[in-house]
Structure 1
Amino acid sequence: MSDALARPPAAGPTAPPRSNAVVAVLALAGIVVSLMQTLVIPIVPQLPKLLDAPASDTAWAVTATLLAAAVATPVVGRLGDMIGKRRMLLTSIVLLVSGSVVCALADSLTPMIAGRALQGLAAAVVPLGISIMRDALPAERLAGSTALMSASLGVGGALGLPAAAFIADNWDWHLLFWTSAVLGALAFLLVLLVVPESANRAGGRFDLVGALGLSAGLVTLLLAVSKGGDWGWTSGTTLGLGAAAVVILAAWGRWELRAAQPLVDLRTTARTQVLFTNLASVALGFSMFAMSLVLPQLLQLPEQTGYGLGRSMLTVGLVLAPQGLVMMAMSAVSAGITKTRGPKVTLMTGALIVAAGYGLNIVLMSELWHLILVSCVIGGGVGFTYGAMPALIMGAVDPSQTGAANSLNTLMRSLGTSFASALAGVILAQMTTDFGGYALPSENGFKVVMAIGAGAALLAFVLAAFIPGRTAAVRPTATEDAEETTPLKA
């Protein structure tokens, strides 16, 4: 093992006394970035009026973020492994702040889409933060810290919705983006002051062809999935993009297998532990989005439908907010199970809890407290799974590959979410009820989506069962095997 992979001495900048500060700052950065997922939700219905553009065009304010995040996550993860994870983390936060400022100054569609795309380019902050933790923290702190960092994705989204709704209801909508810019600047400053750079770097030459190929494949795939409902699933545009995605990704895979220094090491991703963790991540990403789609609609539909609760967007946010707190609390429990039983057991347990939450939602959906309970149960299960997945990934890859491997795992969850959005949209568009001349999603439509969410969580449980027996949270390097006094088992 080269000196570049050697651990710094315990007395250095990554010594245990600074561990709490490093974890807190990285988790804050993750929460700030995850706010971008829910930032525009309260104002989406008003965007056509606010930006003087058709609704079909303003939808790109959401789609642009999705596409940019899909492209940036694997590319930035690989660059982090090569030239420094902290450096790429800071770069990502700068992009987030820049995008927030552009949106805050926007009064038309084009700058809004550009700003939202810049915000999406910051999506790799969470996988980069997890990878930094592997390099910077003592072994005994790693499981709990990575679980908390992973949970920040859900925590920021859950807590951001009520805050965004409150701001949008009481002040000018531009304040949403000024707030995110200020939070991003704060996160940048704290990372700069507190978080150390990792000594684990892969070096080498960046695979530009691989990056372009993966980006093209993901963009065409996600465009087909996310816009297929608007364009028509059998339209020439949708089918053409889907076919192009298959061809491009197949050619990309062939290139990556032959490249000396690939963007994504497909041989590593084919290892049983990595492969089935990523497959389970797709299923869980699919499952978790179903709740985000169903609960807000149930809360806002008119009471006269017989199943809607007729509440405001602010109430929606307040109902979903406890989910984020439960997710954060469960990250500690998740870490305890990972330490004693292994991350495989943690992942399987979380998947069962998520499935149970959807089962509850099918029979409990008529009262406000029903939906609070359901969101907390599902949030608890998500807290378990979010903590286990990075532990499983890092247990199977070299420290010099953690940025790329964690970023790919995050991308898998995002793909699952995109597929869930498309399928649920089709179901709710087909299973409708007439309400005053308008077609609204029916109660049975919501129940079908929840049943599919439960099924996806159970599929994740089955996939996780194929992960090799008792797996370690992280895979030790040769250097650390020889040095038992090292503060981190990497």
Structure 2
Amino acid sequence: MAGPRLGAPPATPVATGRILATLVLAVVAFQLASSMVTPALPDIATSLSAPVAEVARSQDLFFLVNGVAGVVLARLSDHLGRRRVLLGTLALLCAGAVLAAVTPGVPLLIAGRILQGAAGATFPLTYVLLRETMPPARFGTALGLITAINGGVGGVDGLVGGLLSDHLGFRWIFVAIVVVAVAAMVSTARVLPEAPARTTGRMDWRGAAFLSAALVCVNLALSQGSAHGWSDVRPLALLAGGLLLLLCFRQAEKRRAHPLIAVEHLRTRQVWPLITTTVLTLTGVFAALNFTIVLLSQDRHTGYGMSATLSSLLFLTPPAAIGLLAAPLTGRLASRRGWLLPLRAGLLLCAAVLAVAACFPQNRWVMLAAVCGMGVCYNGLALTTLNGLGVIQSPKESPGALPGLNGSCFGIGASVGIALAGPLVGSGTLTGYRNALWLAVGISLLALVASLLIAANEPRATGGRPEAPADKAPAADESRAAPDGSRVAADESRAEGEPGRA
């Protein structure tokens, strides 16, 4: 089921270095659009003479479109080629940033943010491109670096956004995004190799429409349920609609010769436990790290009464900066020794660290130590291996399908986590914050259980030797002699940690 490669990777370290630098520039451009705008929301509301809640809708729609586009465009790249689709996503990012920079009001701002959200396939595309262009020995380290950027550009992107907004105005944030995105487009056009389509047949637009509509309904249901309560008819109707659309998607995929992602693959232990683990990890850990702890630090009555800037410096920047170091090391280790063990270790450590935080929520120094620990076990171990498995476990006939779907699960998990923690944190009591953290501990342990069900998809490199792609494994690995003299296929899901036989 592992995705095919572009052929021989670039022959020289200089060539692979240029490709990695280009992909880093592309994901930095999108990450800036994702994280630099949040601190400027009050300034945007003031400048456009609009309520903050109305301006915040642009952020909600950005992340909503982001999740949908990641699934559809990553799969489209199997048909049109990675380079062409990546250039298209960067062009959308530029166009949306220009609209947002010159906007006279909220409607054009929302339109610009929707266009930027459509560039959400940048990260899934980059993960697949790393798999197809990097030598196996460098794949894990490079993927860890990209994952660390996904967690924040060294922890300074939000701070830079706040500084630009305070001193130059919010429009300069979008100008900065345009500059980086244009540089990424030029580098992509010059450096990334052309590659043929990775699959035959036509793009499954019907399946894409059903799945996109289902994801929209589920995400809207979660936000509506968090805002208005689950006794309201709107979130329940949206959730029912989302489930119905998922059933329609399942039926449509059964009839397609080249589906968006085949139903039989979704049923395998290479896929569904990974998707479940991703959703549960983000539900538990993301909400605790980026929602519960941040609000506790700013709560003037129950928490630490910090300003938004100080809270960001102490509780958001350290885990992102630590992850920038830990994630590449995790990727390097995982590419040599296997991806499942670091994932499970990271989830177990996440639960342990969150349990300590839940025991001492009133102690800011314990909480600071906890978020620093999360830089290693969450940003480093868990996120890196989840992204790596999303690439490695993807079906070979649709290598862009699982990375896109797995990326969308990041957004769904984050939404579910905030929806569950919101009522507890909203009580404004120390007990409420503590219960939200204990809830995160329990969900993290469920994620660990789900990770135990993931079946390894291919042999790995051991002792520093490059691994052979699953679709080009030596013949001796693909079959063995049966007692009757016939040849039978070898078990492609060898036990975790067993090196491939020569």
Shared topology, TM-score over 0.5?
A: yes
- 1:395 matches 2:388: no
Q: Which residue of 1 aligns with 2:26?
A: 29
Shift of 1:91: 0.9
User: What pairs with 1:405-424 in structure 2 (closer than 5 Å)?
Assistant: 405-424=402-421
- Kept in 1: contact 2:7–2:132 (CA 8 A): no
Q: Which residue of 2 aligns with 1:88?
A: 85
**Change in 2 beyond 3 A, CA 1:151/1:371:** same
Q: Which residue of 2 aligns with 1:434?
A: none
Return 199-208 or 242-251, whichever deviates more: 199-208
Q: Which residue of 1 aligns with 2:294?
A: 296
- Which residue identity is paired with 1:457? S
Residue in structure 1 matching 2:344, options 340, 345, 348: 348
**Change in 2 beyond 3 A, CA 1:247/1:284:** same
**Change in 2 beyond 3 A, CA 1:420/1:94:** same
* Structure 2 length-normalised TM: 0.86
Q: Give the 3-state SS of the residue equivalent to 1:402 in structure 2.
A: coil
User: What pairs with 1:310-321 in structure 2 (closer than 5 Å)?
Assistant: 310-313=306-309, 315-317=311-313, 319-321=315-317
- 1:467 matches 2:454: yes
Shift of 1:311: 2.5
- Kept in 2: contact 1:355–1:455 (CA 8 A): yes
Aligned residues: CA RMSD: 2.6
Shift of 1:410: 0.8
Return 169-178 or 195-204, whichever deviates more: 195-204
Deviations 1:52-71 (A, max 9, x none): 33444323111111221122
User: What pairs with 1:113-132 in structure 2 (closer than 5 Å)?
Assistant: 113-132=110-129
The CA distance in 1 between the partners of 2:178 and 2:354, in whole Å, is 36
- Kept in 1: contact 2:394–2:401 (CA 8 A): no
The CA distance in 2 between the partners of 1:262 and 1:297, in whole Å, is 43
The CA distance in 2 between the partners of 1:191 and 1:14, in whole Å, is 18
Shift of 1:400: 4.5
- Kept in 2: contact 1:16–1:138 (CA 8 A): no
The CA distance in 2 between the partners of 1:480 and 1:168, in whole Å, is 53
Show structure 2 runs of 5+ residues with no match.
461-466, 478-499
Q: Give the 3-state SS of the residue equivalent to 1:19 in structure 2.
A: helix
- 1:211 matches 2:198: no
- Which residue identity is paired with 2:205? L
Shift of 1:135: 1.0
- Kept in 1: contact 2:86–2:122 (CA 8 A): yes
Q: Which residue of 2 aligns with 1:228?
A: 225
The CA distance in 1 between the partners of 2:416 and 2:225, in whole Å, is 11
Deviations 1:35-59 (A, max 9, x none): 3332222133454433333444323
The CA distance in 2 between the partners of 1:6 and 1:454, in whole Å, is 38
Q: Which residue of 1 aligns with 2:445?
A: 458
Q: Give the 3-state SS of the residue equivalent to 2:409 in structure 1.
A: helix
Q: Which residue of 2 aligns with 1:168?
A: 165
Q: Which residue of 2 aligns with 1:376?
A: 372
Q: Which residue of 1 aligns with 2:489?
A: none
Shift of 1:314: 5.3
Q: Which residue of 2 aligns with 1:243?
A: 240
Q: Give the 3-state SS of the residue equivalent to 1:158 in structure 2.
A: coil
Q: Which residue of 1 aligns with 2:436?
A: 449
Deviations 1:129-168 (A, max 9, x none): 1101111111111122222222221033833111112222
Return 406-415 or 320-329, whichever deviates more: 320-329
Extract structure 1 runs of 4+ deviating beyond 6 A: none
The CA distance in 2 between the partners of 1:455 and 1:202, in whole Å, is 41
The CA distance in 1 between the partners of 2:295 and 2:87, in whole Å, is 37
The CA distance in 2 between the partners of 1:420 and 1:249, in whole Å, is 21
- Kept in 2: contact 1:95–1:119 (CA 8 A): yes
- 1:267 matches 2:264: yes
Return 71-80 or 197-206, whichever deviates more: 197-206
Q: Give the 3-state SS of the residue equivalent to 2:270 in structure 1.
A: helix
Number of residue pairs the alignment of both structures matches: 468
- Kept in 1: contact 2:394–2:400 (CA 8 A): no
* Structure 1 length-normalised TM: 0.88
**Change in 2 beyond 3 A, CA 1:96/1:364:** farther
- Kept in 1: contact 2:361–2:433 (CA 8 A): no
Residue in structure 1 matching 2:104, options 98, 103, 107: 107
Q: Name the structure where helix makes up a greater proportion of residues.
A: 1
The CA distance in 2 between the partners of 1:220 and 1:134, in whole Å, is 32
- Kept in 2: contact 1:76–1:124 (CA 8 A): yes
**Percent identity of paired positions between Structure 1 and Structure 2:** 26
- Kept in 2: contact 1:334–1:387 (CA 8 A): yes
Q: Which residue of 2 aligns with 1:60?
A: 57
- 1:331 matches 2:327: yes
The CA distance in 1 between the partners of 2:239 and 2:394, in whole Å, is 31
Deviations 1:225-247 (A, max 9, x none): 11233344222322221211111
User: What pairs with 1:271-286 in structure 2 (closer than 5 Å)?
Assistant: 271-286=268-283
Q: Which residue of 1 aligns with 2:469?
A: 476
The CA distance in 2 between the partners of 1:402 and 1:483, in whole Å, is 25
- Which residue identity is paired with 1:352? L
The CA distance in 2 between the partners of 1:225 and 1:41, in whole Å, is 20
Show structure 1 runs of 5+ residues with no match.
432-440
- Which residue identity is paired with 1:183? V
